[in-house]
Amino acid sequence: MEKIATICVYCGCGCGLFLHVEDGRIVGASPSPAHPVSRGRLCVKGWLAADFVHHPDRLKTPLVRKGGRMVRGSWDEALSLTARRLKEIMEESGPDALAVLTSAKGTNEENYLLAKLARVALKTNNVDHVARLCHAPSVAGLGFALGSGAMTNPIRSLLSADAILVTGSNTTEQHPLIAAHILEAQSRGATLIVADPRRTQMAQLADIHLAPRLGTDVAWTNGILNLIIDMGLVDEDFIIERTEGFTALKDLVVQYTPAAVERITGIPPGDLKKAAVAFGEADRAAVVYAMGTTQHSCGTDNVLALANLVLATGNVGRDGTGIYPLRGHQNVQGACDMGALPSVYPGYQKVEDPAARERMEAAWGTDLPADPGLTAVEMMEAAEEGRLKGIYISGENPMISYPDRDQVMRALSSLEFLTVADIFPTETTALADVVLPVASFAEKDGTFTSTERRVQRVRRAVSPPGEARPEVEVAADLLRRLGVEADYASPEEVMAEISSVTPSYGGISYQRLGISGLSWPCPSRDHPGTEILHQGSFPIGRARFSAVEQQELAEDLDYPLLLTTGRSLFHFHTGTMTRRTHLLDRERPKAAVDINPADAAALGVRSGTMVVVESVRGGIEIEARLTEEVPMGTVYIPFHFAEAPANQLTARTLDPTSKIPCLKRTPVRIRRADS
Amino acid sequence: MTCASAFILRREDLVPLLEELAETLEVVAPVQVEGEAAFATWRGEALALDDKNPLTSPMEFFLPQKEVLFRYVQYSGRYTFSEDPPRARLIFGMRPCDLRALKVIDGIFGADLPDIPYAGRRRSTIIVALNCTTPGEGCFCRSMGSGPGAEGGYDILLTDLGRGYLVEPGSSAGVYILRAHHRHFEEADPGDIKEKERLLALAGDEIVTRGPSLNPEKIREAIDGVDWEEAGRRCLACGGCSLVCPVCHCFSVLDQGVPDGERLRCRDTCILSGFSRMTGGANPRAALGERLRHWYLDKFVYIPEKTGLFGCVGCGRCTRVCLGEVDRWSLFKEAAE
């Protein structure tokens, strides 16, 4: 038996684990005791991280659509067809009729090559990935406020915080190892404040639980800031020396009195005051947030409001402080870093910036398109309208994970050509013209970058099944077929190229990535990496306050309940892996809608009753589960389940700045299925 | 070689001995993986015998996290089956706590209706145990009566005396190995046995003075006094305690693949609600606290009833992996006070 050290494939914590390998098969997994995040522990998904790897459903041969049926094809056939069709579409309709969706489940090397495929081979900036649906508002909001959209501090830093505000994050279920750090800090004396409409485990363990109405985050955040200013708890030196725009903000937040905040959010003034005192008086305070903050049509405003809070209290640049956008996939940070976004090259160099474009043109030896491309959700609209004709999708399953499933279906079906690379058949591969079988995390070498900017080595433990290949090879092969030089002998050579074009990865090489990896920015070979950002200065000079206001929230009397969506501890995203992991699927075998018992009584519904949940976009039939975890008027559905897809109901309403769809607040109505 | 019952293996002879053994057996030993000791197939790398006992117990070589019980192939409506024979293996450096776990499992999987795959692996495995002279921080084997010295159940027992290892055979297979490789061993003198006893007494004292002084009887009585609801509130349902426990042995069986495929046996955990949930959805242990309580009852009441031995060997691994920051043993200290 060998024990191969690698990184977990699920959430952004980036836990180190060992895969136990015997006779070419993975027979178990265990936590790496010396790893800085896992510290000898894992969550239930981590313990079972490799359980799906040898599942018989794995895609093992390329599939090509012939006469409406998918038939086995060779790699050569599948890739030459992909290259030929993409080229034909490019010649007929121009490069912007093509797009690439990369995968946050892929390695940095894979994301880099796929983004390069879009820009260099297909000559389009239409490249995006799932970050659009999670932390685009952080990239936009924190990028504006602080100059960087990433987590400011390492996870470990939370251990030395005196107060931690967790909002829009079901941390014990979605980032269990970060929750463990937060709870450890709490048991050492830190005050834990949780703002979440649902009574999650985190909320139940909190010292102060604020339960705002859905979509009212700006109001309560401004309300806390107003009280902090009122009590004289702002860090004036920090504001004067390192920020700008405070006066305008101060003038705005005076409107957010506790009484006004209560009217908007439903939070009792006493609780708001307690939270403001705990956060304001703390020597070191931290803000942790996730999808509950970002997945709103005002997602960027929500992030800016939180940034105001940490800046006004001077909680940036020191151990125990900071703002922590928790990233949901193990490499969504890396996919963003690699420039798998329509507006930036690797290292967030803007495509609109002529100097950056010139640098990349020189490095890649070709002309590059100047205009930012389409974002993920915009791609679906463009496809539906016929402007987008060909897409290469790597390991994404938009049919389940994107909002408004019917529209995604129409969009993908109307494409002239679709290639999907994945490890399992999905609702999206079912629509493809070519399906490419690729290696899972346990079958390839590369790097992942965790939520704390930690670049870590992923190691091949076993061979891919059948003819499946690591996607880094597939992407290089496609690049060559499209006439771009791409002779990489190994992922390590791809990383060498990445570090040569990505300033923040300049010092990163496989030899330097030990147990703890390296945190970017790491600009040179002798640089130790940067765990805490913004210590002396911000990349933009002074940090910026933004006077953000609470948006008016539309109400719809026909749809009196508010639906919010999320993930369960036991499943991940569209369930392609976890629903094939026996113990996880057994734990949560089917979808259910969480309803408050008072709402349920009014509807005549009990636990186990089949109900129909409807929004203006459609309806799904689903089992009801009565729980006090959701407040009256709010219902909750995890979106993992294809048989009751929550995203059938959600809207494409986009945040104007970051183009994230509003997945967290959808007006719905519920009736018994038999009525 | 004489018929002495104890020998000395010089430190420099250890690797040559293992190399000889590895010619015919798969030698499993603690080696360094990412800065920590872990049991893996030994391929000549440096041994990590001085580190603390690896987080994953060598019990995984008897009760794998996942094993293929057999493969099935359907042909013209008839099924044929195939299974792999167990490997000939030598586990080197197994500690007394894990050895005790093996004895407990023998009492369960080796009882009236023996578990065939387990029995096969048991028969084909040689155990070279290592007495614990450097116990880890959270260890309390002495309180459980399972360490720091091994009492039977091994083929060969080693004790690190500094200048070399004291070697004591514990089975005919052990005697056979010592004879076959006799050139590495010299006869021990009575002083060496005394030295072993001295070192083990020291280690035992260290465990008692440093760790919680709990005895299994006290824990059994304290179970009812623990606030399980509160413990359950903090539990993050990772299942780590039961996945890392050398005595935990629950499994589920599933067939993967139609029409051809494999029947798999996977480690299961009673910390998950699906473990005790019935088909209709009812669950006799619906709350996490109730499941935690059950876990302890199994260790301190049910397993002792079945095997005469406690289901906890004091290895301390459950506290090391607990994601909810629950210090497992302080639960009982509070309840006992």
Q: Which of A21, A42, A155 is the best mutation test for B, with the most CBs of B within 10 A?
A: A42
| DSSP string over A170-213 | -HHHHSHHHHHHHHHHHHTT-EEEEE-SS--HHHHH-SEEE-PP
ipTM metric: 0.95
Ranges of each domain in chain A = 2-47, 63-128+339-443+468-519, 136-325, 561-672
Ranges of each domain in chain B = 7-210, 216-336
Q: pLDDT at position B337, please?
A: 58
Q: Do A34 and B34 touch (CB under 8 A)?
A: yes
Q: pLDDT at position B334, please?
A: 66
A7 phi/psi in degrees, rounded to 5: -120, 145
- Among partner residues B28, B261, B266, which is closest to A582 by beta-carbon distance? B266
Closest CA–CA distance from residue A629 to any residue of chain B (Å): 14
Q: What part of B 271-310 touches A (C-beta under 8 Å)?
A: 272-274, 281
Give the mean pLDDT of chain A. Answer: 95
Structure tokens at A472: 């880094």
CA B247 – CA A620 distance, rounded (Å): 45
**B65 has a chain A CB within 8 A of its CB:** yes
Chain A partners within 8 Å of B239 (Cβ): 44, 47, 583
Q: Which of B325, B327, B328 is the best mutation test for A, with the most CBs of A within 10 A?
A: B325
Q: pLDDT at position B4, please?
A: 66
Describe chain A by its helix, strand, coil percentages, rounded to 5.
Answer: 35, 20, 45
Does residue B207 surpass a pLDDT of 90? no
Say if domain A2-47 classifies as CATH 3.90.800.10: no
Rounded mean pLDDT, A432-437: 97
Does residue B336 surpass a pLDDT of 70? no
Structure tokens at A308: 């105001």
| DSSP string over A409-462 | HHHHHT-SEEEEEESS--TTGGG-SEEEEB--GGG--EEEE-TTSEEEEE---S
Does residue A219 surpass a pLDDT of 60? yes
* A18 and B54 Cβ atoms separated by less than 8 Å: no
Nearest alpha carbon to residue A356 among A340, A342, A368: A368
Query: Cα–Cα distances in Å, from A389 out to A8, A97, A414, A500, B53?
Result: 35, 5, 8, 33, 59
Q: Do B272 and A515 touch (CB under 8 A)?
A: no
Closest residue of B to A177, CA-based?
B323
Q: Do B234 and A35 touch (CB under 8 A)?
A: no
DSSP code of A552?
A: P
What is the Cβ-side half-sphere exposure of residue A258, based on CA atoms within 13 angstroms?
Answer: 14
* A582 and B254 Cβ atoms separated by less than 8 Å: yes
Q: pLDDT at position A641, please?
A: 86
pTM: 0.95
Rounded mean pLDDT, A505-512: 97
CA A265 – CA A119 distance, rounded (Å): 45
Confidence of residue B2 (pLDDT cuts 50, 70, 90): very low
Closest CA–CA distance from residue A624 to any residue of chain B (Å): 13
User: A561-672 in CATH: which number?
Assistant: 2.40.40.20
Q: pLDDT at position B1, please?
A: 46
Confidence of residue B213 (pLDDT cuts 50, 70, 90): low
Q: Which of A21, A48, A627 is the best mutation test for B, with the most CBs of B within 10 A?
A: A48
Q: What part of B 213-272 touches A (C-beta under 8 Å)?
A: 233-234, 236-240, 243-244, 252, 254, 256-258, 261, 266-269, 272
Rounded mean pLDDT, B164-193: 95
Residue carrying the six token digits 């996942």: B66
Does residue B327 surpass a pLDDT of 60? yes
Q: Do A41 and B41 touch (CB under 8 A)?
A: no
Helical spans, DSSP H, in chain B: 11-22, 96-109, 116-123, 141-144, 172-180, 190-210, 216-222, 228-234, 240-244, 273-276, 288-297, 303-307, 317-321, 328-336
Instruction: Report residue A650 CA to chain centroid gap.
Output: 18
Q: Do B321 and A43 touch (CB under 8 A)?
A: no
CA A580 – CA A577 distance, rounded (Å): 5
Q: How many CB atoms lie within 10 A of CB B23?
A: 7
Going by C-beta distance under 8 Å and a sequence separation of 6 or more, which residues neighbour residue A519? A154, A452, A453, A454, A455, A529, A530, A531
Instruction: Report residue A111 CA to chain centroid gap.
Output: 15
Closest CA–CA distance from residue B303 to any residue of chain A (Å): 24
List the end-to-end C-alpha distance of chain A, in Å, as a whole number. 58
Does residue A457 surpass a pLDDT of 60? yes
Confidence of residue B244 (pLDDT cuts 50, 70, 90): very high
Confidence of residue B122 (pLDDT cuts 50, 70, 90): very high
Say if domain A63-128+339-443+468-519 classifies as CATH 3.30.565.10: no
State the DSSP H helix or E strand holding residue A602, giving kind and residue range, or none if neither: helix A597-603
Confidence of residue B3 (pLDDT cuts 50, 70, 90): low
Q: pLDDT at position A662, please?
A: 87
| Residue range A147-201, pLDDT digits in tens | 999 999 999 999 999 999 999 999 999 999 999 999 999 999 999 999 999 999 9
Q: Do A180 and B252 touch (CB under 8 A)?
A: no
| Residue range A46-71, pLDDT digits in tens | 999 999 999 999 999 999 999 889 99
Q: pLDDT at position A650, please?
A: 86
A306 phi/psi in degrees, rounded to 5: -65, -40
What homologous superfamily does CATH list for A136-325? Dimethylsulfoxide Reductase, domain 2 (3.40.228.10)
- Among partner residues B55, B239, B254, which is closest to A33 by beta-carbon distance? B55
* B55 and A33 Cβ atoms separated by less than 8 Å: yes
Query: Cα–Cα distances in Å, from A298 out to A23, A267, A302?
Result: 52, 20, 6
| Residue range A579-606, pLDDT digits in tens | 999 999 999 999 999 999 999 999 999 9
Rounded mean pLDDT, A330-357: 95
Structure tokens at A482: 């499209």
* A460 and A446 Cβ atoms separated by less than 8 Å: no
Structure tokens at B233: 């509130």
* A349 and A336 Cβ atoms separated by less than 8 Å: no
Q: Do A46 and B272 touch (CB under 8 A)?
A: no
Query: Cα–Cα distances in Å, from B213 out to A503, A547, B216, B219, B234?
Result: 56, 59, 10, 10, 24
Does residue A635 surpass a pLDDT of 90? yes
**A5 has a chain B CB within 8 A of its CB:** yes
